[in-house]
Structure 1
Amino acid sequence: MNCQISQYVSKNRSSLQNKLFLLLIMICCTMMLFSCADSSNKKIKIGLSMDSLRVERWQKDRDIFIAEAEKLGADVIVQSADGDERKQNEQAENMITQGVNVLVVIPKDSVAASQIVKAAHAEGIKVIAYDRLIRESEPDLYISFDNEQVGYLQAEYLLRKKPEGDYFLLGGAPSDNNAQLLRKGQLRALQNSIDKGDIRLVAEGKHWAVNWDPNDALNKTEQVLTQTNNQIDVVVASNDGTAGGVIQALEGQNLAGKVFVSGQDAELAACQRIVKGTQTMTVYKPIRLIAKEAAQAAVALAKGETLEKAKQKVNNGKIDVPSILLTPIQVDKDNLDEVVIKDGFHSREKVYQTE
């Protein structure tokens, strides 16, 4: 009798253990399913690290980027470094700590920002260099316009307008890789005419506007006007902000509208100057296109997807960075309406100041 009871208890204990084991397996599977569901439903978080928001175009980049990223279901953290490279690195570290999936960086300094790439990669975070190449590191993507071509378009246009004369080349921030590419493109357009003696570079073409500052552009142009006794026919200004400083200096000598001046970015003030006749041209880089492409690429990288559009390569001194290079457009008074206004970048009322 005792033997039968013992067998019964043993049998039921074994059955109970099996049931408990199965229950534990079911609980574990359920927790894993909920964990996977939570992971798949977790929002992508993108960090947008910006050099500054002082220039009008960067405000547009920010707004369009955020709108596109949110449309794709991502959250965006934006921080602006106010032109301070150390501050930008600190802000990027902060966004890494906040757990962003991707960092999109508009670097203040193309070399200093390499530390951002290294810090992000140490945490498994992808990095996109936006419109400015990050050097001496391994960013996952570079998206920009062909900046050497932008410089070429500036100088080529002015050369057609003034094939002979005295040219002043005013670059942007020397710490910005784009400024170097622009100068390279400008000289590619001008070199043959320089070699033939058709055009002469005043101040040896060595001037750069610190931090792309219009006030610095104003001061440097005033200095060159004094040195040359106002003998300047063309100013190849590398963006619209510096063009504004140049034109202010020319106005002081009653030369505005008489000297050909280039620009870049199709800022509202520059478009108004083109209408007025004090700025000759600008180069339009469709901001809507680059900002949307960058947001789409950031979301794709966060999902671990392959970037099919990154078919080009740009060497940054360390690697050939996968790149998406978009096409810039020359703009003057003849196609301003068709290109800039039609694209919705500025309204006709604001450009022609009829509001």
Structure 2
Amino acid sequence: MNAKIRSAVVGAVAVSMALSIAACGKAGDDDKDKAAGSGDKGGKSIGLLLPDTTTARYEKFDKPYFENKVKELCSDCTVEYANAGADPAKQAQQVSTMITKGVKVIAVSAQDAAAIKSSVEEATSKGVKVIAYDRLAQGPVSAYVSFDNEKVGQLQGEALLEGMGDKADPKAKVVMINGDDADPNAAQFKKGAHGALDGKVDIAYEQTGLWKDTVAAEKMSAAITQLGKKNIAGVYSANDGMAGGIANVLKGAGLSSLTLTGQDAELAAIQRIVAGTQYATVYKAFKPQAEAAAELAVKLLKGEDISSVATAEVTSGSNDKVPAQLLTPVSVTQKNIKDTVVKDGLYTIDEICAGEFAAACAKAGLK
């Protein structure tokens, strides 16, 4: 082979090898891109962890409102959801599972605000942002969305006094059933309620109902035994779920006319208010709360500033300063059912006045 031909062959081989290497490099790049793309699914994923299924609001309202707002703000985002079923250990595992899945932002309503601290620390160490939803979790959370919880307690206390009317005096014995001590909100509700009630009535029996209707019912029965049913002038219940258990005990004891408070504006509570077996509840509009959390989640996911949403600051039980949005609660009695939960579309008149509540609704002017 002469030099000219040999040179042409070597050149052709070199070009062929270069093309082959380039093609291999392109294929490798494609594989790399595909791998990155598969990981991006987690990068576009937001977690929502709620504490229990016994509180009706979480599954019925908070979850769908949150999911819908995320989809509105980020069409290619997905929401990973789990409920702790009132089990702190289960919720801790759910946080770990979401981290493993590649979720980049987690909104969590802590079943136990102190116990979840290690999970929050684990998440943030992996670059995952955590939003404390409704309950202020301990640890380095990025934002907090809830209501002014002391105001909630204040409204409850004021409603109790209003419902008691002339019976409200410093000697009037009141039963107080508070929430779960593991929930920091419970302490704030309690503080606000005491601020409204102390010195105006005698809180003669005070216990935690652990946010459970069965426990609250047991405590109410014990209070009746201890104080005597004729000596009880009113009952403070920290939420509507517990108020349901308490109302059943009061009915059995012939005390359904006693003033009873609650919180969360559950349908059953609104119906009890119509029927006169519960005086008031506190309505915390779930939609703006869930939507604020969703907006924060999307902003954190995109690395955007959150100060336009989280305009306040709170200090958690672990002494962390947390940007917060605190919404305003509203007291609900028979007088303003139409202007609150009905006006906001939470429930319809037909839902409230179904079945056995039809006559009571007519009497209350709900038509």
| TM score, norm. by length of structure 2 | 0.84
* Map of 1:114 onto structure 2: 117
Pair 1:249 & 2:249 matched: yes
Say whether the 8 Å CA contact 1:138–1:318 is kept in structure 2: no
Distance 2:141 2:325 in 1: 13
Secondary structure at 1:266's aligned position in 2? Answer: coil
Distance 1:118 1:214 in 2: 33
Deviation of 1:37 after TM superposition, in Å, equals 10
Equivalent of residue 127 in structure 1, options 127, 130, 133: 130
Change (3 A) 1:176 1:347: same
* Map of 2:88 onto structure 1: 85
Distance 1:281 1:56 in 2: 17
* Map of 1:169 onto structure 2: 176
* Map of 1:290 onto structure 2: 289
Say whether the 8 Å CA contact 2:39–2:102 is kept in structure 1: no
Pair 1:338 & 2:339 matched: yes
Change (3 A) 1:32 1:149: farther
Equivalent of residue 97 in structure 1, options 95, 100, 108: 100
Secondary structure at 1:175's aligned position in 2? Answer: coil
Equivalent of residue 188 in structure 1, options 185, 195, 211: 195
Secondary structure at 1:167's aligned position in 2? Answer: strand
Deviation of 1:253 after TM superposition, in Å, equals 1.2
Deviation of 1:235 after TM superposition, in Å, equals 1.0
Deviation of 1:306 after TM superposition, in Å, equals 0.8
What is the CA deviation profile of residues 170-196 of structure 1, one whole-angstrom value per residue up to 9, with x for unaligned ones?
1011111111110011111123xx1xx
Distance 2:36 2:291 in 1: 28
Say whether the 8 Å CA contact 1:44–1:299 is kept in structure 2: no
Deviation of 1:167 after TM superposition, in Å, equals 1.5
Distance 1:309 1:76 in 2: 20
Pair 1:67 & 2:74 matched: no
Deviation of 1:305 after TM superposition, in Å, equals 0.7
Say whether the 8 Å CA contact 2:243–2:260 is kept in structure 1: yes
Pair 1:154 & 2:156 matched: yes
What is the CA deviation profile of residues 211-259 of structure 1, one whole-angstrom value per residue up to 9, with x for unaligned ones?
x1101111100110111111111111100011111111110111102x1
* Map of 1:273 onto structure 2: 272
Pair 1:223 & 2:184 matched: no
Secondary structure at 1:334's aligned position in 2? Answer: helix
**1:149 aligned partner, one-letter code:** K
* Map of 1:51 onto structure 2: 51
Say whether the 8 Å CA contact 2:66–2:293 is kept in structure 1: yes
What is the CA deviation profile of residues 279-329 of structure 1, one whole-angstrom value per residue up to 9, with x for unaligned ones?
000000011111111111111111111112111111113211111111111
Secondary structure at 1:202's aligned position in 2? Answer: strand
Say whether the 8 Å CA contact 1:69–1:295 is kept in structure 2: yes
Say whether the 8 Å CA contact 2:133–2:293 is kept in structure 1: yes
Secondary structure at 1:272's aligned position in 2? Answer: helix
Pair 1:303 & 2:305 matched: no
Distance 1:253 1:160 in 2: 23
Structure 2, unpaired ranges of 5+: 359-367
Say whether the 8 Å CA contact 1:69–1:296 is kept in structure 2: yes
**1:176 aligned partner, one-letter code:** D
Say whether the 8 Å CA contact 2:292–2:309 is kept in structure 1: no
**1:171 aligned partner, one-letter code:** N
Secondary structure at 1:233's aligned position in 2? Answer: strand
- Percent identity of paired positions between Structure 1 and Structure 2: 35
**2:203 aligned partner, one-letter code:** L
Equivalent of residue 204 in structure 2, options 177, 182, 202: 202
* Map of 2:365 onto structure 1: none
Deviation of 1:33 after TM superposition, in Å, equals 12
* Map of 1:328 onto structure 2: 329
What is the CA deviation profile of residues 77-112 of structure 1, one whole-angstrom value per residue up to 9, with x for unaligned ones?
111121111111011101110110111111110101
Distance 2:239 2:264 in 1: 7
Deviation of 1:32 after TM superposition, in Å, equals 12
RMSD of the alignment, in Å? 3.0
| TM score, norm. by length of structure 1 | 0.87
- Moved beyond 6 Å, runs of 4+: 30-37
* Map of 2:232 onto structure 1: 232
